[in-house]
Amino acid sequence: MITYTCPFCLRSQSGMDLELPEGAETFTATWRECGHRVSVPVAEIIPPPSFPRQQGTAGIARFRCPRDCGWTHDEFTDPGPIPPVRLPARAKGSTLAEVLSSTTEEEISAAIGAAAEERAHAHRARLEQAYAAHYELVHPGIAAPTLAS
Ligand SMILES: [Zn+2]
Ligand SMILES: [Zn+2]
């Protein structure tokens, strides 16, 4: 069962109501049991990139400003090698073969998944920071866009 935790009183409850007044830039969330209510603005969404010069996998992804001011931000589409994985604490041995045989395949798979996720997280943070810096400079007072999750 899904529960909704109210950030004001921390009571978990069975439901939350969302209201979006027509033409408004904010929506209202009301937690059903405690009645706490908050009006929340929504950040713009970082638009999907274009790929201006794609050669195999070594291209760039070009992100543009959703306010169409002409600003763009480039990221490499090939994020490079996966960062080193963190093996479970009980992994041991003096050669890689020994280390790998002291762990299970599930653990290795989970460690690779975690490293990939960390990299995706770093990419997301870098992108959102670039937009935040641009907005501060060129669109002050407007919430910087975030990636849709
Ligand atoms: Zn509450
Ligand atoms: Zn802009």
Taking the centre of ligand 2 as the mean of its atom positions, its distance from the CA of residue 117, in whole angstroms, is 29
Structural contact between residues 4 and 12, judged by C-beta atoms closer than 8 angstroms: yes
pLDDT tens per residue across all 149 residues of the chain: 789 999 999 999 999 999 998 887 789 999 999 999 999 888 889 999 998 876 665 688 899 999 999 999 998 887 778 888 888 888 888 998 998 899 999 999 999 999 988 888 988 999 999 999 999 999 998 889 998 87
147: tokens are: 């990636």
Angstrom CA distances, 26 to 11, 18, 21, 63, 128, stand at 24, 11, 8, 25, 21
Distance 39 CA to ligand 1 centre (A): 14
Burial class for 48, CB neighbours closer than 10 Å (0-12, 13-18, 19+) = exposed
How far, in Å, CA of 146 to CA of 42, rounded?
Answer: 10
Q: Which residues surround ligand 1, an ion (CB under 5 A)?
A: 6, 8-9, 31, 34, 36
Residue 29 CA, ligand 1 centroid: distance in Å: 11
Q: Tell me the pTM.
A: 0.66
Determine the distance from the C-alpha atom of residue 146 to the mean position of all C-alpha atoms in its chain, rounded to a whole number.
Answer: 8
